[in-house]
Amino acid sequence: MPKEPFTVVGTAFHTPERGQFEILENHLFGVDRQGRISDLLPPDHPDFEARKKAAAAAGQLVELADGQFLMPGLVDLHIHAPQWPQMGKALDVPLEVWLQKYTFPLEAKFADVEFAREVYGELVDGLLANGTTTALYFATVHGPATLALAEICREKGQRALVGKVVMDDPEQCPDYYRDPDAESAVQETRLFIEAVRAMDGGERPLVMPVITPRFIPSCTDAALEGLGALAREYGCHVQTHCSESDWEKDYVEARFGESDAASLDRFGLLTRNTILAHSNFIGEEDMDLIQERGAGVAHCPLSNLFFANAVFPLRKALDRHMHVGLGTDISGGYSPSLFDGCRHAISASKALHGGVHAGLAPAERGAPGEAITHREAFWLATAGGAEALDIPTGSFRPGHEFDALLIETKAAHSNIYLHRGDSLEDLFEKIVLNATRANIGMVWVSGRKVVG
Amino acid sequence: MPKEPFTVVGTAFHTPERGQFEILENHLFGVDRQGRISDLLPPDHPDFEARKKAAAAAGQLVELADGQFLMPGLVDLHIHAPQWPQMGKALDVPLEVWLQKYTFPLEAKFADVEFAREVYGELVDGLLANGTTTALYFATVHGPATLALAEICREKGQRALVGKVVMDDPEQCPDYYRDPDAESAVQETRLFIEAVRAMDGGERPLVMPVITPRFIPSCTDAALEGLGALAREYGCHVQTHCSESDWEKDYVEARFGESDAASLDRFGLLTRNTILAHSNFIGEEDMDLIQERGAGVAHCPLSNLFFANAVFPLRKALDRHMHVGLGTDISGGYSPSLFDGCRHAISASKALHGGVHAGLAPAERGAPGEAITHREAFWLATAGGAEALDIPTGSFRPGHEFDALLIETKAAHSNIYLHRGDSLEDLFEKIVLNATRANIGMVWVSGRKVVG
Yes or no, beta carbons of A438 and B433 under 8 Å apart: no
- Distance in angstroms (rounded) separating the CA atoms of residues A349 and B283: 26
User: What CATH code is carried by the domain that includes residue A410?
Assistant: 2.30.40.10
Yes or no, beta carbons of B437 and A358 under 8 Å apart: no
- For residues A234 and A345, state if they share a domain: yes
The Cα-based distances of A386 to A36, A152, A275, A401, B230 in angstroms read 15, 21, 11, 11, 60
Residue B342 lies in a domain: yes
Of the residues B389, B420, B435, the one at which a domain ends: B389
Average pLDDT estimate for B210-229: 98
Contact B122, A417 (CB under 8 A): yes
Parallel, antiparallel, or unpaired: how do β-strands A448-451 and B37-41 relate?
A: unpaired
- Distance in angstroms (rounded) separating the CA atoms of residues B214 and B165: 6
- For residues A161 and A45, state if they share a domain: no
Within 8 A of B413 by CB-CB distance, chain A residues are 129, 413, 436-438
Residue B1 lies in a domain: no
Average pLDDT estimate for A334-345: 98
**Could you give the number of structural domains in chain B?**
2
Q: How many CA atoms lie within 13 A of A376 on its CB side?
A: 19
Within 8 A of A129 by CB-CB distance, chain B residues are 413
**φ, ψ of residue A323 in degrees (nearest 5):** -75, 125
Contact B216, B260 (CB under 8 A): yes
Residue B273 lies in a domain: yes
- Distance in angstroms (rounded) separating the CA atoms of residues B16 and B145: 36
Residue of B nearest to A430 (CA): B88
Yes or no, beta carbons of A91 and B348 under 8 Å apart: no
Contact A20, A1 (CB under 8 A): no
Average pLDDT estimate for B199-219: 95
Contact B357, A360 (CB under 8 A): no
Residue from the list A88, A366, A367 with its beta carbon closest to the beta carbon of B434: A88
Q: Who's near A325: CB < 8 A, 6+ residues apart?
A: A75, A77, A275, A296, A297, A298, A299, A380, A381, A384, A385, A386, A387, A388, A389
- pLDDT mean across residues, chain A: 97
pLDDT, one tens digit per residue, over A289-337 is: 999 999 999 999 999 999 999 999 999 999 999 999 999 999 999 999 9
State if pTM tops 0.95: yes
Q: Give the whole-number percent of chain A exceeding pLDDT 70.
A: 100
- For residues B201 and B302, state if they share a domain: yes
Residue of A nearest to B126 (CA): A415
Q: How many CA atoms lie within 13 A of B371 on its CB side?
A: 26
Yes or no, beta carbons of A310 and B344 under 8 Å apart: no
Contact A92, B374 (CB under 8 A): yes
pLDDT at A1: 53
pLDDT at A202: 83
Contact B445, B73 (CB under 8 A): yes
Residue A410 lies in a domain: yes
pLDDT at A125: 98
Check if A220 contacts B (Cβ < 8 Å).
no
**φ, ψ of residue A28 in degrees (nearest 5):** -110, 125
- Model confidence at A165: pLDDT above 80: yes
CA angle A341/A345/A346 to nearest 5° reads 120
- Distance in angstroms (rounded) separating the CA atoms of residues A12 and B185: 47
pLDDT, one tens digit per residue, over A110-130 is: 999 999 999 999 999 999 999
pLDDT at A96: 87
CB atoms within 10 A of CB B303: 23
- For residues A91 and A68, state if they share a domain: no
Average pLDDT estimate for B110-136: 98
- For residues B50 and B169, state if they share a domain: no
Cβ-in-10-Å burial (0-12, 13-18, 19+) of A44 comes to exposed
**φ, ψ of residue B418 in degrees (nearest 5):** -90, 145
Residue A343 lies in a domain: yes
Residue A179 lies in a domain: yes
pLDDT, one tens digit per residue, over B395-420 is: 999 999 999 999 999 999 999 999 99
Give DSSP secondary structure letters for A178-234: S-S-HHHHHHHHHHHHHHHHHHS-SSS-SEEEEEEE--GGGS-HHHHHHHHHHHHHH
pLDDT at B201: 82
Region label for A390, one of left (φ > 0), alpha (ψ between -120 and 50) or beta (otherwise): left
- For residues B200 and B275, state if they share a domain: yes
- pLDDT mean across residues, chain B: 97
- For residues B179 and B294, state if they share a domain: yes
Average pLDDT estimate for B187-198: 98
pLDDT at A95: 85
pLDDT, one tens digit per residue, over A204-250 is: 999 999 999 999 999 999 999 999 999 999 999 999 999 999 999 99
- For residues B438 and B351, state if they share a domain: no
User: Mind telling me how many Å the CA of B80 is from chain A's nearest CA?
Assistant: 16
pLDDT, one tens digit per residue, over B334-382 is: 999 999 999 999 999 999 999 999 999 998 999 999 999 999 999 999 9
- Model confidence at B2: pLDDT above 60: no
User: What CATH code is carried by the domain that includes residue B196?
Assistant: 3.20.20.140
Residue A94: band (very low, low, confident or very high) from pLDDT cuts 50, 70, 90? confident
Residue B444 pairs with which residues in a beta bridge?
B404, B449
User: Mind telling me how many Å the CA of B108 is from chain A's nearest CA?
Assistant: 15
CA angle B194/B77/A414 to nearest 5° reads 110
Of the residues B389, B405, B432, the one at which a domain ends: B389
pLDDT at B95: 85
Cβ-in-10-Å burial (0-12, 13-18, 19+) of B233 comes to exposed
- For residues A55 and A78, state if they share a domain: no
- Distance in angstroms (rounded) separating the CA atoms of residues A209 and A236: 7
Residue A1 lies in a domain: no
- Restricting to B residues 181-210, those with a Cβ less than 8 Å away from any Cβ of A are none
Mapped onto helix, strand or coil, the DSSP state of residue A429 is helix
Residue B384 lies in a domain: yes
- Restricting to B residues 24-83, those with a Cβ less than 8 Å away from any Cβ of A are none
Asked whether the CA dihedral A309, A314, A320, A322 is positive or negative, the reply is positive
- Distance in angstroms (rounded) separating the CA atoms of residues A230 and A269: 9
Q: Which of B452, B384, B444 is nearest to B34 (CA)?
A: B444
- Distance in angstroms (rounded) separating the CA atoms of residues B440 and A177: 39
Yes or no, beta carbons of A88 and B416 under 8 Å apart: yes
The Cα-based distances of A293 to A158, A187, A269, A323 in angstroms read 28, 26, 10, 11
Of the residues B389, B416, B443, the one at which a domain ends: B389
Query: Range of B51's domain?
Result: 6-72+394-451
ipTM of this predicted complex? 0.97
Amino acid present at A38: S
- For residues B328 and B226, state if they share a domain: yes
* Rg for chain A, CA atoms, rounded: 22
Contact A351, B305 (CB under 8 A): yes
The Cα-based distances of A217 to A131, A161, A343 in angstroms read 33, 23, 31
pLDDT at B96: 87
- For residues B66 and B82, state if they share a domain: no
Asked whether the CA dihedral B438, B439, B441, B447 is positive or negative, the reply is negative
Yes or no, beta carbons of B413 and A436 under 8 Å apart: yes
CA dihedral of residues A322, B90, B76, B289 (deg, nearest 10): 90
User: Mind telling me how many Å the CA of B384 is from chain A's nearest CA?
Assistant: 20
Q: Who's near A354: CB < 8 A, 6+ residues apart?
A: A365, A366, A371, B305, B309
| 3-state DSSP of chain B | CCCCCEEEEEEEEECCCCCCCEEEEEEEEEECCCCEEEEEECCCCCCHHHHHHHHHHCCCEEECCCCEEEEECEEEEEEEHHHHHHCCCCCCCCHHHHHHHHHHHHHHHHHCHHHHHHHHHHHHHHHHHCCEEEEEEECCCCHHHHHHHHHHHHHHCCEEEEEEEECCCCCCCCCCCCCCCHHHHHHHHHHHHHHHHHHCCCCCCCEEEEEEECCHHHCCHHHHHHHHHHHHHHCCEEEEEECCCHHHHHHHHHHHCCCHHHHHHHCCCCCCCEEEEECCCCCHHHHHHHHHHCCEEEECHHHHHHHHCCCCCHHHHHHCCCEEEECCCECCECCCCHHHHHHHHHHHHHHHHHCCCCCCCHHHHCCCCCCCCHHHHHHHHHHHHHHHHCCCCCCCCCCCECCEEEEECCCCCCCCCCCCCCCHHHHHHHHHHHCCHHHEEEEEECCEEEEC
Total CB pairs under 8 A between chain A and B: 182
- Restricting to A residues 79-138, those with a Cβ less than 8 Å away from any Cβ of B are 84-92, 119, 122, 126, 129-130
- Model confidence at B449: pLDDT above 60: yes
- Distance in angstroms (rounded) separating the CA atoms of residues B60 and B445: 17
Q: Who's near B163: CB < 8 A, 6+ residues apart?
A: B136, B137, B138, B139, B146, B209, B210, B211, B212, B237, B239
pLDDT at A101: 94
Asked whether the CA dihedral A187, A190, A196, A199 is positive or negative, the reply is negative
Q: Which of B268, B256, B313 is nearest to B295 (CA)?
A: B268
- For residues B132 and B196, state if they share a domain: yes
Q: How many CA atoms lie within 13 A of B320 on its CB side?
A: 21
Amino acid present at B241: H
Within 8 A of B313 by CB-CB distance, chain A residues are 358
A376-402 burial: b if 16+ Cβ within 10 Å, else e = bbbbbbbbbbbbbbebbbbbbbeebbb
User: Mind telling me how many Å the CA of B179 is from chain A's nearest CA?
Assistant: 26
Within 8 A of A314 by CB-CB distance, chain B residues are none
Contact B110, B139 (CB under 8 A): yes
pLDDT at A153: 98
Residue from the list B354, B356, B362 with its beta carbon closest to the beta carbon of A352: B356
- Model confidence at A2: pLDDT above 80: no
